[in-house]
Amino acid sequence: MTSASLVSIEALDGDNTQRLQAAIDDLSASGGGRLELLAGIHICRGLRLRSGVDLHLTAGAILRPVPDYAAYAHTTVSVIAEKSDRGMIVAKGARRIALTGAGRIEAGCEKFIIGDDVTVGTFIPAEFRPRVVVFEDCDEVEISALHISRSPMWTLHFVDCTDVAVRNVTIDNDRRLPNTDGIVLDACRGAVIEDCTISTADDGICLKTSIGPQGVAIGRCENILIRRCAVQSLSCALKIGTETHGDVTNIVFEDCSVSSSNRALGIFSRDGGRISNVRFSRIAVECRETLDGFWGSGEALTVNVVDRVAERPAGAIENLIVEDITGRMEGAITVISASPAGIRNASLARIGIDQRPGELGTAQSYDLRPTNADLAPKADGGGRANAWTRAADGRVIGLQDYPGGMPAVYVADVTGILMNEVRIKRPTPLPQGWNAIDVVFETAAPDGSGAWQN
43 in the same domain as 136 = yes
The secondary structure element, H or E, covering residue 427 is none
- For 148, 183, 421, the CA distances from 50, given in Å and listed in that order, are 21, 21, 51
Q: Say how far apart CA 391 and CA 360 lie, in whole Å.
A: 21
Residues 6 or more apart in contact with residue 189 via CB below 8 angstroms: 161, 162, 219, 220, 221, 222, 223
In this structure, are 270 and 319 located in the same domain? yes
CA distance 38 to 41: 9
The 3-state DSSP class for residue 95 equals strand
CATH number where 179 lies? 2.160.20.10
How many domains, in total, are found in the chain? 2
163 and 70, same structural domain?
Answer: yes
Is 378 within a domain?
A: no
Q: Which pTM was predicted?
A: 0.95
CA 340 to each of CA 150, 193, 349: distance values in angstroms, whole numbers, following the listed order: 41, 33, 26
3-class state of residue 14 by DSSP? coil
Taking alpha carbons only, the member of 435, 385, 379, 375 closest to residue 410 is 435
Residue 386 confidence (pLDDT): 58
Q: Which amino acid is at 382?
A: G
- 373: in domain: no
Cα separation, 262 vs 430, whole angstroms: 22
Judge if 220 and 196 occupy the same domain: no
Structural domain boundaries enclosing 319: 215-368+402-454
pLDDT at 447: 41
- Residue 135 falls inside a structural domain: yes
- Under a CB-based contact definition with an 8 Å cutoff, are residues 184 and 157 in contact? yes
Would you say residue 255 lies in a domain?
A: yes
**Do residues 151 and 172 make contact, with C-beta atoms less than 8 angstroms apart?**
no
Whether residues 408 and 277 share a domain: the answer is yes
Q: Provide the 8-state DSSP code for 118.
A: T
Same-domain status, 37 and 145: yes
Signed CA dihedral, 14, 15, 21, 24: sign only:
positive
Distance CA 409, CA 398 (A): 19
Question: Is the distance from CB of 331 to CB of 287 less than 8 angstroms?
Answer: yes
Q: 328: buried, middle or exposed (CB in 10 Å: 19+, 13-18, 0-12)?
A: middle
CB 295 within 8 A of CB 337: no
Residues 234 and 194 in one domain: no
Is 10 a domain residue?
yes
Q: Does the residue 326 lie in any domain? A: yes
Residue 44 CB-half CA count within 13 A: 25
Q: Among residues 147, 167, 202, which one ends one of the domains?
A: 202
Q: 90 and 58: one domain?
A: yes
Looking at the fold, whether 190 and 309 belong to one and the same domain comes out as no
Which of 202, 237, 263 marks a domain boundary?
A: 202
- Measure Cα distances from 120 to 222, 297, 384 in Å: 35, 13, 11
Q: Is 239 helix (H, G, I), strand (E, B) or coil?
A: strand
Q: What is the chain's pLDDT, residue by residue, as a tens digit (454 residues)?
A: 544 799 999 999 999 999 999 999 999 999 999 999 999 999 999 999 999 999 999 999 999 999 999 999 999 999 999 899 999 999 999 999 999 999 999 999 999 999 998 877 889 999 999 999 999 999 999 999 999 999 999 999 999 999 999 999 999 999 999 999 999 999 999 999 999 999 999 999 999 999 988 888 999 999 999 999 999 999 999 999 999 999 999 999 999 999 999 999 999 999 999 999 999 999 999 999 998 777 889 999 999 999 998 888 999 999 999 999 999 999 999 999 999 999 999 999 999 999 999 999 999 999 998 888 777 656 555 556 656 778 888 888 889 999 999 999 999 999 999 999 999 999 999 999 999 999 999 875 444 444 444 3
Domain boundary residue, one of 174, 202, 230: 202
- Please report whether residue 318 resides in a domain: yes
| Same structural domain, 61 and 192 | yes
User: What pLDDT is stored for residue 133 in this prediction?
Assistant: 98
Shortest CA distance to 17 belongs to which of 73, 59, 58? 73
CB count within 10 Å of CB 336 equals: 21
Task: Flag whether 144 is in a domain.
Answer: yes
Output the pLDDT for position 446. Answer: 42
**Residue of 241, 218, 314 whose CA lies nearest to 273:** 314
Indicate if 141 and 251 belong to the same structural domain: no
Give how far Cα 37 sits from Cα of 6, 59, 310, 351, 434, Å: 11, 9, 51, 47, 56
Please check whether residues 278 and 349 belong to one and the same domain: yes
The three-state secondary structure class of 104 is: strand
b/e map of 176-186 (b: 16 or more CB within 10 Å)?
Answer: bbbbbbbbbbb
Specify the 3-state DSSP secondary structure of 227. Answer: strand
Amino acid at 59: A
Give the angle subtended at the CA of 69 by the CAs of 66 and 72, to the nearest 5°. Answer: 75
State which amino acid sits at residue 358: G
What pLDDT score was predicted for residue 381?
A: 55
Q: What is the DSSP string of 136-183?
A: ES-EEEEEES-EEE--SS-SEEEES-EEEEEES-EEE--TTSTT--SE
Of residues 141, 29, 45, 151, the one with CA closest to residue 91: 141
Is 98:156 a contact under the CB 8 Å cutoff? no
